[in-house]
Structure 1
Amino acid sequence: MSGHETDAMRQLRSENLAGLHGRVLEIGAGTGTNFAHYPATVSEVVAVEPERRLAAHSRDAAAHAPVPVTVTTDSVEEFHPAEPFDAIVCSLVLCSVENPDDVLRQLFSMLRPGGELRYLEHIAGTGARARLQRFADATVWPRMLGNCHTHRDTEAAIATAGFRVENARREWVLPTWVPLPVAELALGRAVRP
Structure 2
Amino acid sequence: MTAFQHPRFAQAYVRASELADRRGAYAHRHRLLAGLHGRVIEIGAGNGRNFPHYPPSVTEVLAVEPDDTLRAHAVAQARSAPVPVSVVPGHADALPAGDGTMDAAVVSLVLCSVPAQSRALAEIARVLAPGGRLHFYEHVRSPRRATGLLQDLLTPAWRRAAGGCHPNRDTVAEIVRAGFEVTEIDRFPFAPQPPIPPLTHVLGTAVFKG
Report how many residues are paired.
190
Deviation at 1:179, TM superposition (A): 7.5
Deviation at 1:172, TM superposition (A): 1.3
The question of 1:85 aligning with 2:102 is answered: yes
Give the aligned partner of residue 96 of structure 1.
113
Give the aligned partner of residue 29 of structure 2.
13
Code of the aligned partner of 1:112: A
State the TM-score, normalized to the length of structure 2. Answer: 0.86
Q: How does 1:43-122 map to 2 (within 5 A)?
A: 43-82=59-98, 84-122=101-139
CA-based RMSD: 1.7
Contact 1:169/1:187 (CA < 8 Å) preserved in 2? Answer: yes
Deviation at 1:77, TM superposition (A): 2.1
More helix per residue: 1 or 2?
2
Contact 2:42/2:106 (CA < 8 Å) preserved in 1? Answer: yes
The question of 1:28 aligning with 2:44 is answered: yes
The range that moved more, 77-86 or 113-122, is: 77-86
Code of the aligned partner of 1:89: V
Seq. identity, %: 43
State the TM-score, normalized to the length of structure 1. Answer: 0.93
Deviation at 1:131, TM superposition (A): 1.9
Code of the aligned partner of 2:26: R
Give the aligned partner of residue 41 of structure 1.
57
Contact 1:129/1:181 (CA < 8 Å) preserved in 2? Answer: no
Unaligned runs of 5+ in 1: none
Code of the aligned partner of 1:63: R
Task: Provide the rounded CA distance (Å) in 2 between the counterparts of 1:113 and 1:130.
Answer: 35
Code of the aligned partner of 1:169: D
Unaligned runs of 5+ in 2: 1-15
